[in-house]
Amino acid sequence: MTYHLKPLLPLALAILLGACATVESEKPEIDARFADARFKPLVSPSAVQAPTDWWTGFSSEQLNTLMQQAQADNLSLAATAARLRAAQASLEATQASFFPSLTLNAGRQENTVKGTSIQGQATNNRGLFTSASFVASYEIDLWSRVRNTAQAAELQLQATRYELDAARISIAGQLATTWAQWVAADQTVRLFEQELESFQTNLKLIELRFRQGGALASDVLQQRQLVESAQGNLAQARSNRDVLLNSLGLLVGQPPNKIGMNSENLPNLPPLPATGFPAELLNRRPDVRQAWSQVLATDRSVAAAIANRFPQLSLRASFSDQTNDSDLLFDNWVRNLSVNLVAPLFDGGARSAEVERQRALLDQAVAQYQDAAINALADVDNALIQETRQREAVESFQRQLELAELSLKRLFAGYRNGSVDYLAILNAQQSTSQLRRNLVNAQQQLVGFRIALYRALSGSIPQLTAAEQS
């Protein structure tokens, strides 16, 4: 039986007393340039709190169903959720350093010695040995290296949770935007179908007047050209609609041509949501909170790197035995107790370089946080500006279309009695058709800006499952 502990106790005690002050990094300084930030547009006093599931405000059962499918089956969300589980496992592995490690080694060995005796006879000595040992070790966290490493892993886990929240909001925004684009594309297809039918009806009318001598051949040709143009536009519109349908399928985790949609019109916008104050927004945005958690995690990594430059003290205990009689294996244990001190003397500057690397990563994390914060404020401001201006555009297109349809109706009446030239009819038809499409596009953009506002405000964040929270 041997002991190695007592001679090192004074040294260990001195180190422990000297380690009362925990090694810490310098706290990151955050630029307060956006502390007085304001949203330029004035939010209406009638603004309401956005609903928990903001997309329900568009009153589309199809959108609600798609959103449920996306939150459950989107592959990007699945990948992020897997990263969350990996971060959880990494934290648990790091936290294991707080506890002693215990290992068992056991084996059975056969030794055979061949030789020649004094008498010249061959010998063959064979022996069987059984061995077993228990080894326990524990690192004393003098400089909080282990604690800081564990805290960094815990903060990294928190950052990943916020990343999942941000991903869910992003997917919800992408899905709602693509849905609005599909609805607009489907409305455009229906417009072209109606226009084609109307142009074909007008063609029959002009052909009849031509046979009666009331129209020119050029009138017939121009109207036929208009019909052909409508057929080409209809084919392109159907293609665009089909591509958007595949995009919807991908967002809900389905391969192409696996989902079906029914025709519906673009919705009227629900009441404008309240934005709150900039500070509230930054605290609500998961991408900003993710960036801040990354700052704190990197700060702890800096502290751990600094602590790694100082000596490490560990305790070690072992119990072992080896015998050629397995029945006596547990009768004669050899016990060893030791204190191990590892002090870096020269490493070519590797540890110092690691500290500087972590400090550079901290500077990067701080800059990324400030960038995320500023972009969050700009997202809200831009969405409010764009929606305000787009409302004006939609109202203008609506007034233009009303006037164009009235003008077209009167021109046709004049054409029938011969007081209006066909060229005026042709131009009016094309202008009216274009205004109808412009109105649909403007309405889709208006819905898109509202979706962008909901995304910027973060809307609602679906709750993590029990598995994701563990």
What residue ranges define each of the domains in the chain, with the CATH number in brackets? 22-101+142-323+349-469 (1.20.1600.10)
Tokens standing for residue 3: 């002991």
Which helix (DSSP H) or strand (DSSP E) does residue 140 occupy?
strand 122-140
371: Cα within 13 Å, side-chain hemisphere:
8
What confidence category does residue 19 fall into, taking pLDDT thresholds of 50, 70 and 90?
A: very low
- CB–CB of 135/105 below 8 Å? yes
Whole-number pLDDT of residue 15: 38
CA angle 224, 226, 229 (to 5 degrees): 110
Average pLDDT of the segment spanning 334-351: 73
Q: In what order do the strands lie in the sheet with 101-116?
A: 101-116, 122-140, 312-323, 334-342
Which helix (DSSP H) or strand (DSSP E) does residue 313 occupy?
strand 312-323
> In this model, does residue 30 exceed pLDDT 60?
no
Q: What is the pLDDT of residues 215-252, one digit of tens each?
A: 788 888 988 998 998 999 999 999 999 999 999 999 99
Average pLDDT of the segment spanning 20-38: 53
Whole-number pLDDT of residue 22: 45
Whole-number pLDDT of residue 35: 55
Measured between alpha carbons, how far is 58 from 46 in angstroms, rounded to an integer? 18
Whole-number pLDDT of residue 228: 92
Residues present in the chain in total? 470
Q: What is the pLDDT of residues 368-411, one digit of tens each?
A: 998 998 888 889 889 989 999 999 999 999 999 999 999 989 98
Q: What is the pLDDT of residues 50-105, one digit of tens each?
A: 666 899 889 999 999 999 998 888 888 888 888 888 888 887 777 777 677 777 67
AA letter at 11: L
Q: What is the pLDDT of residues 103-143, one digit of tens each?
A: 767 666 665 555 555 555 555 555 566 666 667 777 777 77
Which helix (DSSP H) or strand (DSSP E) does residue 325 occupy?
none
> Which residue did the predictor score with more confidence, 197 or 100?
197
User: Which of 70, 80, 105, 94 lies closest to 175, judged by CA?
Assistant: 70
Q: Dmax of the chain from CA atoms?
A: 142
What confidence category does residue 17 fall into, taking pLDDT thresholds of 50, 70 and 90?
A: very low
* DSSP-assigned states of every residue in 449-464: HHHHHHHHTT---PPP
Tokens standing for residue 458: 């973060």
> In this model, does residue 327 exceed pLDDT 70?
no
> In this model, does residue 468 exceed pLDDT 50?
no
The residue written with tokens 């919705």 in the block is 267
Average pLDDT of the segment spanning 270-279: 79
Measured between alpha carbons, how far is 94 from 22 in angstroms, rounded to an integer? 19
Tokens standing for residue 165: 């929240």
Residues whose CB falls within 8 Å of the CB of residue 276, separated by 6 or more in sequence, listed in order: 284, 457
Average pLDDT of the segment spanning 344-357: 82
- CB–CB of 323/332 below 8 Å? yes
> In this model, does residue 193 exceed pLDDT 50?
yes
> Which residue did the predictor score with more confidence, 35 or 408?
408
Q: What is the mean pLDDT of the chain?
A: 79
CA angle 402, 405, 409 (to 5 degrees): 140
Whole-number pLDDT of residue 1: 36
Tokens standing for residue 189: 């297809």
Q: What is the pLDDT of residues 402-458, one digit of tens each?
A: 999 999 899 888 877 878 887 888 888 889 989 999 999 999 999 999 999 999 888
Whole-number pLDDT of residue 71: 86
Q: What is the 8-class DSSP label of residue 335?
A: E
Whole-number pLDDT of residue 9: 37
For 272, the 3-state DSSP assignment is: coil
Q: How far is CA 432 from CA 178, 242, 299, in A?
A: 27, 26, 62
Whole-number pLDDT of residue 120: 56
Whole-number pLDDT of residue 450: 93
> In this model, does residue 196 exceed pLDDT 80?
yes
Q: What is the pLDDT of residues 139-167, one digit of tens each?
A: 777 777 888 888 888 898 999 999 998 88
Whole-number pLDDT of residue 42: 45
